[in-house]
Amino acid sequence: MKKIFLSLFTLCCINLSFAQTLLATHPLELKKATSNHQIVNAVNDQNQVFVFASDKEKLKVLKYNNALFFKDSLSVNRPDKNYTAMAGFSFDNGNPYLYWSSDDYTKIQSHYFDFNNRTSVTASHQLSLKNESIISVFSENNSFYILSLPQKEDKLKFYCFNKGQLDEKIIDFSSYKFMDEKGKSSTFSSLIKENGIEKIDTRSSNPLFQSVPKIKFYITGKQMMLTIDSSSKTQLFNIDLTTFAVNEKTIPSLTLKGSGGQSNSYFHDNKLYQIRANEEELAIAAVDIATGEELKRYTAGSKDSISFRNSPLYSQTGNERGQELKNTKKFFNKLSNSSLGITVYKTPASLMVTAGGIRDVSSGGGILLGITAGVAMAISGSYYVPEDIFDSQNMQTIYFESLFDDKFEHKKGPQQGLAVDYISQFLHENNVSLVSVFPYKDYFIMGYYDSKKKEYAMRKFEDFNE
């Protein structure tokens, strides 16, 4: 099992047992070979949890009530070999639809599980996808979405599965003006092809590499916020996922005393958090999107101590332990040759901001390209660990962390341990597989398969709050 990216501060000296609780276990035997094993979690509006567990021949669905007590299970045959992955899910009156897909997403099979009558129904869908590229797959709002980019058109196409039915929607971006990172005129489709697209779930503490892409989207209720960063501005497209109406807003990028530098942003709780840096200076700020008002801005030079940080300056390569950088100048030297990013996470007591960059150290340093080259899959806000990104000893993260209040006023003091810290520690100390982590109520659940005990387990992890 690949370890989740370690959260940023050194682990607090707290016994792991205080930070995690075993919620449930259930007998589960997945037959060999392990390459065919898959597990997906889903949570409906009633906070009932469903576990879809599959091996080469069978699919078993476990149902837990909102107190996380096991209630029922159904078992069916796995679809034929044309359907290789459980791609997403939706709900109808609390009962789940599971969607299997072929490798190229041209074939989708929906599988409805009626726990009231203990029956299941399947249906097949064929997507032509002619001259289209799949760019993201995710489940939100009781629906399953496949996003595609039509070739030679400035459009974004949504394949929406709800209650087992397929609906197609298209958003035309040809009337909007776009610029690339160099300030040259560009098009929507060109920017997507060059940069990829990343889905961000702000309920979770996201690793910095997820924030590096210039094009990101965030789902909040029935709204999708699509952000596109260029050297001079961030374009925000608020998409209504019911009507598919689009509203554009533009916020200028931060400026520095010196010339050049990279910029990026992160959307969180109706605010845009910005970062810009060059070899000599760094700035971060928070902007209220509704009013355009800048709440506060913080700057630091390469000779400063960066007074608004709460952690040391770190450099972490691959899975190695983070190394503290001796001075700010070294931090800026590494950062200037990195892809810039910023993340924001709401802890019980503060807003935790992580600022820094990602770079490739395989040839002496350089911007790490292709981070989002593949299809972005976010099944349910669950945090699924990429199979190779953290084993790559070529990826180096340079960062520091800061704590702020809701008005973006800096707060002094150490950050307490986060759920992701304790999850990382648990995975380091235990040999489990098919791990997924998803937000649930006001904490996180980590589900995993224990092949020795032949059982599926769920554990509760939460951010430490004094």
| Amino acid symbol at 131 | N
CA angle 429, 432, 434 (to 5 degrees): 140
From the list 216, 290, 221, 284, the residue with the least C-alpha distance to 254 is 284
In the chain, what's the furthest Cα-to-Cα distance? 69
Report, as an integer, the average pLDDT of 417-443: 92
pLDDT value of position 453: 95
* Other Cβ atoms closer than 10 A to 182: 8
How many separate helices (H) and strands (E) can be counted in the chain? 3, 33
Written as six digits, the tokens of 137 are: 């797959």
* DSSP secondary structure of 350-363: -EEEEEEEEEE-TT
Side-chain half-sphere CA neighbours of 355 within 13 A: 31
> Is the distance from CB of 397 to CB of 208 less than 8 angstroms?
yes
For the cut 70, the answer to whether the pLDDT of residue 385 exceeds it is no
| pTM score of the predicted model | 0.91
Report, as an integer, the average pLDDT of 436-460: 96
> Is the distance from CB of 189 to CB of 149 less than 8 angstroms?
yes
Over the stretch 87-106, which tens digit does the pLDDT of each residue have? 999 999 999 999 999 999 99
pLDDT value of position 27: 97
From the list 200, 177, 203, 202, the residue with the least C-alpha distance to 190 is 177
pLDDT value of position 377: 45
pLDDT value of position 369: 45
| Amino acid symbol at 196 | G
Q: Which residues 6+ apart lie within 8 Å of 254 measured at CB?
A: 263, 274, 275, 276, 283, 284, 285, 297
pLDDT value of position 14: 46
Q: Which residues 6+ apart lie within 8 Å of 165 measured at CB?
A: none
pLDDT value of position 392: 61
For the cut 60, the answer to whether the pLDDT of residue 410 exceeds it is yes
For the cut 50, the answer to whether the pLDDT of residue 371 exceeds it is no
Over the stretch 308-367, which tens digit does the pLDDT of each residue have? 999 999 999 987 788 999 899 999 999 999 999 999 999 999 999 999 999 988 755 555
pLDDT value of position 37: 97
Tokens 């801005």 -> residue: 297
Average pLDDT, the chain: 89
With pLDDT > 90 as the criterion, what percentage of the chain qualifies? 81
Cα 11 to Cα 23: distance, rounded to the nearest angstrom: 23
CA angle 274, 140, 194 (to 5 degrees): 50
Cα 64 to Cα 46: distance, rounded to the nearest angstrom: 11
Residues paired with residue 226 on neighbouring β-strands, in sequence order: 217, 237
Q: Which residues 6+ apart lie within 8 Å of 184 measured at CB?
A: none
Cα 232 to Cα 226: distance, rounded to the nearest angstrom: 17
Over the stretch 14-31, which tens digit does the pLDDT of each residue have? 455 546 799 999 999 999
**Helix or strand run (H / E) with residue 420:** helix 419-429
